[in-house]
Structure 1
């Protein structure tokens, strides 16, 4: 007997389908629909926790550094520790949901996130803060795939699915900007510690909603098996690559340490792929990757991570260093980006059933690239309205157009038993893509700034001009990456909409 999520929430079918001609069944279906959207609200809140935590601490770092007394060189580890824990354990986190139940793993991830955030807010020294951030990353790696797979399995109807991914994708992409605003507010009016404490009540609310709304299925008597060799290899490989990328920011791409870490990571990840073809119960079944639409969608999501991370990081630097903005002002400056992204996500959800997915993805990525090109015109003595706002709006529209359809295409057609690990791939693509992009383009910024200063009298004016040259170069490269990624993704994604490219069956209960 098989049952899909729609049935679990809607009750028994009428004589002629889910509602049939029985008028008594109609209120039940309306109630089930309301319940599904309430579930989405809980899952979206959890996704907001994950997305904003990648940036919420950024604007709080100077205050934390002053109070705890760690060096500027150590400051990067507050960010890197989270990225390492999150990126390295995502595939295992996704598989745990498939094996032990996504609802249970979702709650476990929320609990871990709340505990880690409380520890980070109470940190009395640098080691405790770094450990708490790493634990946040590990908890996020458990939570994120469970949340996304629950969205995928809860919304089986094509029209609802498109709208649900529009909401979820908008929050996923815009949460980083919300984190900047929230972190700036907390730091300015309370304490840097509240940029971490704020996660605790949000996680408690999400957990309460999950306990009330989600249906917890009974586990079978068979003890699930975990591919521990595969889990070790993929975690080690991703850790090595992300760590190597982080070293490139400080040591350069040609340093022995950078090359060794990245090279070792690539070798270990290759060994992981080789083992997955041989073990009986693989951590990442290769059947999940054997789909060109999913490959193209994951490519676009990875490139979106580059665009988002680069925009948040370098526009924050530009506004604080060149425009003189404080933490709260910088957070507010990203609000138009969020608004444009959310509006565009709603438009893409409406278009999803009528316009081919690859067309939406291509147009969205090219629009985002146009926003990056506007940022290449940033002047030293710029203003927000004339020089920052246009790029924010265009980039926000572009990302909002393609991120939700890409997420929907990346998770559609996956067997229910692989939904968790398939969802983890979405986060792996965005996180690793963003980390690699920031590392590579940080080196571009440094190189361009050094070239600009060569032969110049080094003073405040020349340093400002050099910094702007670096940011312009980074945004030019980002525009090229987005445009090239859009073309490649469009070539890979099959023609038609996500809904029309797969037969969505609603199994009946025997």
Structure 2
């Protein structure tokens, strides 16, 4: 891999946050954190969408977006390295906007899923935004800017629920879908006007289409097979075909990548101990921390119907108020992680965050019937979440050399995205084991919520244990 750079538009000697640098960072932060905001909106509207469209397959409302994002990530990262990160960010934002508009105009559930699927092309934006910080800002600002970019999740967690509640309670799910389109349009305008193109380029080579299709298609087939396995039967020919065929495609990807001159993802990079340990642990802890949100939103917003549904029946506004202290603590945990990173090993901070996430949701799995219980144990998970989301970018920077950060960010984003999607799918399967369908709507019982929460808490605990026990070596790096 050959990486070249043209003279940066940003003067090396300028090491303070000028107005121009601040605007660039704000545009990148909005683009990156829009994914989290859309996730909050999606979680808040899924119960209403399930009732409106009379669908028992509401899990695909969020999962189809993650699947497409996972599939698109290796192609987007490779194209960005050769043709420019800003150019690719603009293209995938346009695709995201088109998908948002289709979803907002949808007259049936199938059209809604098509729109959300196209919007999934926006998925790689976070990985590209983090690597753009290194490319377009002065060297001395890279550390603080990366911390602010990661800490932006706290701002989303703080303001997002109230924005979501205002939209959902005031305008229904249509209002939330139209806001997604407006937010994507704002992101597009900010990227075009405020963000310069990255000066870093790889040599233009042929894109490894076969490798990308094997990896993205294989992972998509596995997740789809897992999602349909409960209905098809785990030993049915269709289930085994999708899961087995998907795994075979991933094996084929490994075989192909080791033999092509310009691989989609260089396998030697993934074989390094600092890299593969980072990918494994962050995808498990981060994926579980985000996947559990699907269970929590359904628990809070599905109605209470004796003998049928054990949801808490909250409005979006009440749910935002219940989670407000936790949102503040997510931001607090993220800021604390940035301050502690210079004193403590980032692996220790990830493990501490993972332990709090696992412990908090383990407690919520048994005690989630009153507002005080949700607020008390939710505070534990919120601090852990803040530590996790702020520490992951630091671990990526530590694992690779500067020229490899775009690839490493892409690999981490894809690994966590696949893990989150699979865990979300498995959580829905666990939920569905204690549910019933009435008038085409699936309602969940208390045991399903408890088991779904306990499952994701167990995965977070596994990732935490691996973060503590796996041997790790630091890669030589510089900011």
TM-score (norm 2): 0.85
Offset, 1:218: 7.0
Distance in 1 between the 2:351 and 2:199 partners?
Answer: 42
Per-residue CA shift, 1:414-460, capped at 9, x if unaligned?
A: 4555433322222212221112212223333444x48xx9xxxxxxx
Per-residue CA shift, 1:235-286, capped at 9, x if unaligned?
A: 2112102212221454454554333312211110111011111101111111
**2:404 pairs with 1:422:** no
Q: 1:210 aligns with which of 170, 191, 208?
A: 191
Q: 1:402 aligns with which of 383, 388, 394?
A: 388
Aligned to 1:274: 255
Farther off after superposition, 171-180 or 185-194: 171-180
Distance in 2 between the 1:189 and 1:137 partners?
Answer: 26
Distance in 2 between the 1:161 and 1:406 partners?
Answer: 15
Distance change >3 Å, CA 74–CA 357, structure 1 → 2: closer
Q: 1:148 aligns with which of 119, 130, 133?
A: 130
Aligned to 2:103: 120
| Conserved 8 A contact 1:361-1:490 | no
Number of residue-to-residue matches in the alignment:
464
Offset, 1:102: 0.5
**2:237 pairs with 1:263:** no
**Matches of residues 36-115 of structure 1 in structure 2 within 5 Å?**
36-64=21-49, 70-115=53-98
Aligned to 2:439: none
| Conserved 8 A contact 1:53-1:179 | no
Distance in 1 between the 2:101 and 2:201 partners?
Answer: 35
Q: 1:327 aligns with which of 299, 316, 340?
A: 316
**Matches of residues 440-479 of structure 1 in structure 2 within 5 Å?**
440-447=426-433, 449=434, 467-479=445-457
**Matches of residues 161-200 of structure 1 in structure 2 within 5 Å?**
161-172=142-153, 175=156, 181-200=162-181
| Conserved 8 A contact 1:375-1:388 | yes
Per-residue CA shift, 1:316-347, capped at 9, x if unaligned?
A: 23223443212332244333332211111111
Q: 1:484 aligns with which of 462, 466, 471?
A: 462
Per-residue CA shift, 1:325-377, capped at 9, x if unaligned?
A: 12332244333332211111111111112211221111121122221222133
**2:213 pairs with 1:232:** yes
Offset, 1:388: 0.4
Query: SS in structure 1 opposite 2:123?
Result: helix
Distance in 1 between the 2:249 and 2:126 partners?
Answer: 24
Q: Extract unaligned runs of 5+ from structure 1.
A: 13-17, 19-27, 454-463, 506-510
Distance in 2 between the 1:190 and 1:235 partners?
Answer: 36
TM-score (norm 1): 0.80
Farther off after superposition, 318-327 or 268-277: 318-327
Aligned to 2:297: 316
Distance in 2 between the 1:196 and 1:149 partners?
Answer: 29
Aligned to 1:456: none
Distance change >3 Å, CA 364–CA 3, structure 1 → 2: same
| Conserved 8 A contact 2:330-2:386 | yes
Per-residue CA shift, 1:448-477, capped at 9, x if unaligned?
A: x48xx9xxxxxxxxxx9x933333333333
Distance in 2 between the 1:81 and 1:473 partners?
Answer: 23
| Conserved 8 A contact 1:58-1:183 | no
Offset, 1:227: 0.7
Q: What root-mean-square deviation, in Å, do the aligned CA atoms of Structure 1 and Structure 2 show?
A: 3.3
Per-residue CA shift, 1:388-423, capped at 9, x if unaligned?
A: 012211111112113322222224454555433322
| Conserved 8 A contact 1:343-1:400 | yes
Per-residue CA shift, 1:9-53, capped at 9, x if unaligned?
A: 6425xxxxx4xxxxxxxxx44355x54443222111112222232
Per-residue CA shift, 1:113-161, capped at 9, x if unaligned?
A: 22221222122333332221111002323x2332232134456757x54
Distance change >3 Å, CA 219–CA 473, structure 1 → 2: closer
Larger Rg: 1
| Conserved 8 A contact 1:374-1:390 | no
Distance in 1 between the 2:432 and 2:204 partners?
Answer: 52
Distance in 2 between the 1:168 and 1:388 partners?
Answer: 29
**Matches of residues 351-370 of structure 1 in structure 2 within 5 Å?**
351-370=340-359
Offset, 1:303: 1.8
Distance in 1 between the 2:384 and 2:24 partners?
Answer: 28
